[in-house]
C-alpha cells in the first residue's frame, strides 16, 4: 500500500509480502473475519492507537471536517507516557533492522490514525 523508509503500511486484508519484515497491528480491535494465521501479525501494539473516546468522537461525523482536529488530539495522545513507551518499542523495531509494516483494518487509510503514526515514528527516528 505505502512505504516510507523502513516503515510501511498495509491493510490486514491484503496478502502478506516477503518484504513486510516485522508486521505490527496498529488497531485497537482485532480485524473482523481475519484469522491470526492469515493476518501474520508479529506484534500488536494497542497503545499506539487513538483512545476509544477519540476514535468515537472522530467517527461521529463522517463529513471529514474533523480530521485536522483529530490529528492534533491524536498527536497529543501519542505524547502520553504509555503511548510514548509503545512508540519507543516501535522505533526500536525499525532501528533493529526494519522494515516494519504497520498493519491496519481501516478502510480509508489516508484519513485514519495510521499516517499520523507513521509521521510521528519517522520524526522520532530522526530526532534521536
Higher pLDDT, 23 or 4: 23
Q: Rounded mean pLDDT of 70-85?
A: 97
pLDDT digits (tens, 9 = 90+) for 44-76: 999 999 999 999 999 898 777 899 999 999 999
| pLDDT at 128 (0 to 100) | 62
Q: Tell me the pLDDT band of 5, cut-offs 50, 70 and 90.
A: low
Name the DSSP letter for residue 29. Answer: S
Query: Is residue 18 helix, strand or coil?
Result: helix
pLDDT digits (tens, 9 = 90+) for 98-127: 799 999 999 999 999 999 999 999 999 988
What's the chain's Rg over C-alpha atoms?
14
State the total domains in the chain.
Answer: 1
Give the domain range for residue 35: 2-127
pLDDT at residue number 52: 94
Query: pTM of the entire structure?
Result: 0.90
Share of the chain above pLDDT 90, in %: 84
* Residue 63 pLDDT: 77
**For the residues of 43-109, what is the DSSP string, one character each?**
EE-GGGSPPHHHHHHHHH-TTSTTHHHHHHHHHHHHTSHHHHHHHHHHHHHHHTT--EEEEE--S-G
pLDDT at 1 over 80: no
Amino acid at each position: 500500500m505505502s512505504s516510507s523508509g523502513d516503515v510501511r503500511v498495509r491493510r490486514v486484508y491484503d496478502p502478506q509480502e516477503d518484504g513486510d519484515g516485522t508486521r505490527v497491528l496498529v488497531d485497537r480491535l482485532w480485524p473482523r473475519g481475519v484469522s491470526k494465521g492469515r493476518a501474520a501479525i508479529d506484534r500488536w501494539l494497542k497503545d499506539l492507537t487513538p483512545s476509544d473516546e477519540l476514535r468515537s468522537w472522530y467517527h461521529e461525523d463522517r463529513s471529514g471536517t474533523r480530521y485536522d482536529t483529530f490529528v492534533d488530539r491524536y498527536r497529543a495522545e501519542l505524547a502520553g507516557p504509555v503511548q510514548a513507551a509503545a512508540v519507543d518499542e516501535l522505533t526500536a523495531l525499525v532501528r533493529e533492522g526494519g522494515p516494519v509494516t504497520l498493519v491496519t483494518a481501516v478502510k480509508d487509510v489516508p484519513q485514519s490514525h495510521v499516517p499520523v503514526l507513521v509521521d510521528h515514528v519517522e520524526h522520532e527516528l530522526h530526532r534521536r
